[in-house]
Structure 1
Amino acid sequence: MRPKDEGACSGDGMAGRIITVAQQKGGSGKTTLTANLAIALRRKGFTVAVLDTDPQGSLGRWFMERLQGVGEDGGLEFSTSSAWGASYEGEKLKRRFDVVLIDTPPKIESDLRPALRVADLVLVPVASSQVDLWATEGVLDLAAREKRPVMIVLNRTRPNTRLGAEVAAGAAALGVDVARAQLAHRVSYAESLGRGGAVAEGPAGPGRDEITALADEIMAQAGIEGAATIR
């Protein structure tokens, strides 16, 4: 799938890809992952819609900060829906955008199912804790029932620690794909998010490298073809 013309509805019949970010445990970094992936993909030339189904509204706050600090971008759109409306809204958005990223609430299974059902790929962020790893099994079961492909993303990792190694090994044992790129526990993620930004827009460094590498993996997994980078 190649990028659509910015700000225009696709008339060639090609639908975008829907990527759902889901984790039943709160505090796993779903919103941070969603926002940073949106900008990483946008910088590769794709039109991106972010759909917030979490009543907490953190993704919407990030987008408003972005409008004030960066300005409008016809190739990046924010939308909201209830958890139950995620399937309908996601299908609408993918007719106009190359990629739709759905940020989900940490809720019981009935609230997650519509967003999982419509996904071309389900991303499950797992922070460096055994509790996050345990919570992941419930999401994997739900995705399996909906026959959706899954990729685990190791998030807020602490490299070269025993706990980090144990969580990575536990994730690998769950029987689904685990992204090679890991997102480390970095202050830059929180700082950029609070300004409506993303690490992909920041100075060259390990944070930008890892989110770009993750975006490349997701593109390959979801069947999204490459594009020229926006500078």
Structure 2
Amino acid sequence: MARIRVITILSQKGGAGKSTMTMQLAGGLASKDRRVAVLDLDSQETALRWAGSAPEGKPFPAVVEGLADPAGLRAVLKRLAHQRDFVLIDCPPSIEHPAVLAALQEADLALIPVVPSPADLWSTKGIERLVLQVQAVRKSLRAALVPNRVVRTNLAWDVLEVMRDFSLPMLGAALSQRNAYAQSAVIGASVHQMGRAGSEAAREVDKLVVEVLKLTGEKV
């Protein structure tokens, strides 16, 4: 049996779409027949509330659990190791919260969603430094920046070009600013469960899933 893959999604500031990326990636992996769990370490409990909005009989396609004490993270991952193929960890928006470092210590892959705006770019530098520090000790940790909530403006494209100068690589897959992502949260679903209304967004998520599978050494 293949070992479980742990993906930590983190950012330094709120509004980067961290929880949205977590839940859509979870739904995308589940659509590829992967058994997925999401651990919500953020006190805002966005992932938990998201899954809790699903109607009876049509649950969110991944198990979603909350974890208030990061000291218990390793034990939870050990329990899930025989039940799931992937665990996605949604972290608090901080570089100082103990949950963030705990999640990085357990991760195979760290993903940093970045909204292409100057303010978000500046805040990404801090989280990148933290990831690079952990990588210096944990050589197996892979990490990447993921453009998120992308709009088609000249400023956004300029910021995306600047992102290529970061030390961490930027994935080719990106998630756009789409109503489908927000709507899926309202109904407790992933865009893959929304049919035609979520089809364009689902194609974006599928591209992200392919890159994540490659980065974690899984078959696409």
TM-score, normalised relative to structure 1: 0.85
User: 180, 183, 202: which one pairs with 2:194?
Assistant: 202
1:125, 1:150 → 2: CA distance? 11
Task: Tell me what 1:3 maps to.
Answer: none
Q: How much does 1:181 deviate?
A: 1.3
1:220, 1:68 → 2: CA distance? 34
- Whether contact under 8 Å (2:4, 2:85) holds in the other structure is yes
Equivalent AA in structure 2 for residue 154 of structure 1 = P
Aligned residues: 211
User: Residue 165 in 1 paired to residue 157 in 2?
Assistant: yes
User: How has the CA–CA distance of structure 1 residues 45 and 65 changed in structure 2, closer, same or farther, with 3 Å as cutoff?
Assistant: same
Gaps of 5+ in 1: 1-11, 227-231
Gaps of 5+ in 2: 136-140
Q: How much does 1:110 deviate?
A: 4.3
RMSD of the alignment, in Å?
Answer: 1.8
Q: Secondary structure, in 3 states, of the residue corresponding to 1:225?
A: coil
2:81, 2:158 → 1: CA distance? 37
Q: How much does 1:41 deviate?
A: 0.4
Query: What is the CA deviation profile of residues 49-92 of structure 1, one whole-angstrom value per residue up to 9, with x for unaligned ones?
Result: 0000001111101111225361376xx31212136233443343
User: How has the CA–CA distance of structure 1 residues 70 and 166 changed in structure 2, closer, same or farther, with 3 Å as cutoff?
Assistant: same
2:184, 2:57 → 1: CA distance? 11
Task: Tell me what 2:128 maps to.
Answer: 140
Q: How much does 1:19 deviate?
A: 0.3
User: Residue 225 in 1 paired to residue 213 in 2?
Assistant: no
Query: What is the CA deviation profile of residues 146-174 of structure 1, one whole-angstrom value per residue up to 9, with x for unaligned ones?
Result: 11321111000012x11111221121110
Identity %: 32
Task: Tell me what 2:205 maps to.
Answer: 211
- Whether contact under 8 Å (2:10, 2:113) holds in the other structure is yes
Q: Secondary structure, in 3 states, of the residue corresponding to 2:24?
A: helix
Q: Secondary structure, in 3 states, of the residue corresponding to 1:66?
A: coil
TM-score, normalised relative to structure 2: 0.89
Task: Tell me what 1:4 maps to.
Answer: none
- Whether contact under 8 Å (1:104, 1:115) holds in the other structure is yes
